[in-house]
Amino acid sequence: MTISAETRAVLENRSAPLAQVVKVVSAAERELANAADVVIGVSSSVTIDLLGLFLRREGALSGLRARIVQGGYDDPIGDMERFAAEGVERVVLHPFFDNILPSFEAQIGVLAPDAITAKLAELRARYRLALERGAGFKSVQLALYHRVSTSAHADGADAVDAVLSRFNAMLREEATAFANVQLVDVAPSIERIGHDAAYDRRFYFRAKAPYSAALLSDHAARLAKATRDFGSQFFKVLVLDCDNTLWGGVIGEDLIDGIKLNPFDYPGNVYWRVQQAISGLERQGVILCLCTKNNPADVEEVFRNHPNMVLKENQIAARRVNWTDKVANLQSLADELNLGLESFVFLDDSSVEAEAVRTRLPAVRMVQVPAALADYPIEMEAVERLFLAGGAPSQSGSKTEQYRARDAAAAAQASFASHEDYLASLELEVETHVDRTAEALRISELSQKSNQFNLTTRRYSPGEVLALMNADDAEVVSVTVRNRFGDAGLTGILVLTFANGTATVENFLMSCRVLGQGVESSLWTAVLDRCRARGAERLEATYLPTAKNAQVRDFYDRLGLTLVSDEGGTRRYSQPLAGFEPPSSPWIKVSNV
């Protein structure tokens, strides 16, 4: 579901009057009458009811209807219980530093150190219990404390800053114990809006409502991006134009010495800075591609020979450097990478190309280089948030080498007489782990973005993964894969539940990067041995059809399970474990850790 272009244009106007926002959000939600809902609970130690309106706006921009459940005043523990009863999926938990005690910042200079320490301990216990009770939500966004006053000291540091640092350290420590908790910082929104414009002191003293509408509007946008638009988006690929996007000028006309990319001079310093950000994204798991109308030799020369070129050829996973229509090239890149267009972000300077992509490929997130070039780094920060917010980039790592290894393996296939000989030559190693809590974030991430080899398309929050790992009647099996060309990392998940002598496959999914090598079949002998060891006598599994997982419709048939029903495409299987032996993949070395 999407909203009309006219409605979107008004919603995206962050400076629109409040009355207009109220009106257009309601109109957008009427347009989205049949869209999916997201239920968000807001809990705070001050009054921030207006945040709900702006979260509804962000929901509408994501094609969702956001229903807001307001918590009580300064009651995080009770709010968590209330939210669970009202079907809340995502929580915003927003403590306010100056309201820890009445005018806390003003008191800090005269409070006894023991009193501050005691308050810190009290809040630690309170938020630990609140986060424990919120462990079942898809996400809990916990705002860090920030100050409302400004320091009178010349160097900016004072006693308030010292105490603030201690209280934020406490929040960080407590958050680390919960995989579904995401720390968010209000300070960037305050900096963006301006300190004086961010607060409304009249309402703070009259009604404990400290924030201006402008601050809450910006903060809501950041909260939405930090959850990847409430779980509705999962971008994987950044596709790049070249001329006036990666460098200033047109390489075919200005030649290599004429394009602008000098880090010390304007406008080259803008493009050089943007390339630094793009390179950082690649190192954190974003797949980079080129899609540009140029002569291939010209672009190749820039990548290889320009002294200020930050991006390197080995960081580009795929490229379309030609004079073909960019819409066709984007579709071709999606086919090559075996990824959906909804996972693509395209960065280009041309308004003509941008309009063509928006019109003909609405699934692609189109980002246009700003006409005011000085705003380009700010736009790039928004692109970074699209990819990095809410994920586990440190566990994902660079994907370029993984795709390069996949291509190298595919290229090697031509030199073998049979497919079996080729697979044996890959020296494939599969390692399975059971209930490894350190992998919860990566497992959640993979469940969110895997669509094609995904038997039920069940999505898991980090908290849900941990709950399954800690349950006596469930196991979460993670699968890592490597071959002689490289390490593909954690690329598969199997979730099993156990009851009354039956092992049930709640979901099984694999990354498309390792399909066609027998990995999906290789782990089942060991898995079924574990099921038998737990007393299971039967295995049950279900295939739920979606628009994208047709390729695995018969996976359980190929595994040898017995089909017991097929209703509306939903296929259910049941198989006695006694004497059952699934197909093996003898060319794969399987280790169970």
pLDDT computed for residue 294 by the predictor: 94
**Confidence category of residue 261, pLDDT binned at 50, 70, 90:** very high
pLDDT computed for residue 123 by the predictor: 96
pLDDT computed for residue 392 by the predictor: 47
Half-sphere exposure of 130 (CA within 13 A, CB side): 30
- Mean residue pLDDT of the chain comes to 90
pLDDT computed for residue 393 by the predictor: 45
Residue 308: is its pLDDT beyond 90? yes
pLDDT in tens, 337-393: 888 898 999 999 999 999 999 889 988 999 999 999 999 999 999 899 888 765 544
Bridge partners of residue 157, in order along the sequence = none
Pairing of strands 563-567, 570-576: antiparallel
Residue 398: is its pLDDT beyond 80? no
DSSP per residue, 91-140: EEEE--GGGSSTTHHHHTTTS-HHHHHHHHHHHHHHHHHHHHHTTTSSEE
A 10 A CB-CB count for 31 gives 17
pLDDT computed for residue 317 by the predictor: 93
pTM of the model: 0.71
Rounded average pLDDT over 205-228? 92
Residue 210: is its pLDDT beyond 80? yes
pLDDT in tens, 139-168: 999 999 999 998 877 777 789 999 999 999
pLDDT computed for residue 404 by the predictor: 61
pLDDT computed for residue 396 by the predictor: 46
Burial environment of residue 576 by CB neighbours within 10 A (0 to 12, 13 to 18, 19 or more): exposed
Domains of the chain: 5-231 (3.40.50.1110), 237-389 (3.40.50.1000), 416-592 (3.40.630.30)
Q: Which of 35-49, 151-165, 268-282, 321-335 shows the lowest per-residue confidence on average (mean pLDDT)?
A: 151-165
Residue 417: is its pLDDT beyond 60? no
CA-wise closest residue to 250 among 293, 308, 313: 293
Q: Which of 187-191, 253-257, 421-425 shows the lowest per-residue confidence on average (mean pLDDT)?
A: 421-425
Burial 62-81 (b: 16+ CB within 10 A, else e): bbbbbbbbbbeebbbbebbe
Q: Are 132 and 80 in contact (CB under 8 A)?
A: no
- Interatomic CA distance for residues 472 and 449, integer angstroms: 27
pLDDT computed for residue 385 by the predictor: 83
- Interatomic CA distance for residues 568 and 459, integer angstroms: 22
pLDDT in tens, 492-511: 999 999 999 999 999 999 98
In the block, which residue shows the tokens 């300064």? 74
CA-wise closest residue to 97 among 115, 125, 119: 119
A 10 A CB-CB count for 130 gives 23
- Interatomic CA distance for residues 282 and 374, integer angstroms: 23
In the block, which residue shows the tokens 């010495």? 257
| Local structure of 38: helix, strand or coil | strand
**Confidence category of residue 1, pLDDT binned at 50, 70, 90:** low
Token pair for 482: 């490597």
Token pair for 369: 């280089």
CA distances from residue 211 to 160, 188, 190, 204 in whole angstroms, order as listed: 20, 14, 10, 8
Rounded average pLDDT over 420-424? 74
Q: Are 493 and 509 in contact (CB under 8 A)?
A: yes
Residue 113: is its pLDDT beyond 90? yes
Q: For residue 548, give the DSSP letter.
A: S
Instruction: Report whether the peptide linkage leading into residue 113 is cis, meaning its omega lies within 30 degrees of zero.
Output: no
- Interatomic CA distance for residues 183 and 92, integer angstroms: 10
pLDDT in tens, 427-475: 888 999 999 998 988 899 889 888 889 999 898 988 889 989 999 999 9
Token pair for 326: 């960019």
pLDDT in tens, 534-569: 999 999 999 999 988 888 999 999 999 999 999 999
Residue 292, H or E segment? strand 287-293
Burial environment of residue 269 by CB neighbours within 10 A (0 to 12, 13 to 18, 19 or more): middle
| Local structure of 525: helix, strand or coil | helix
**Confidence category of residue 591, pLDDT binned at 50, 70, 90:** confident
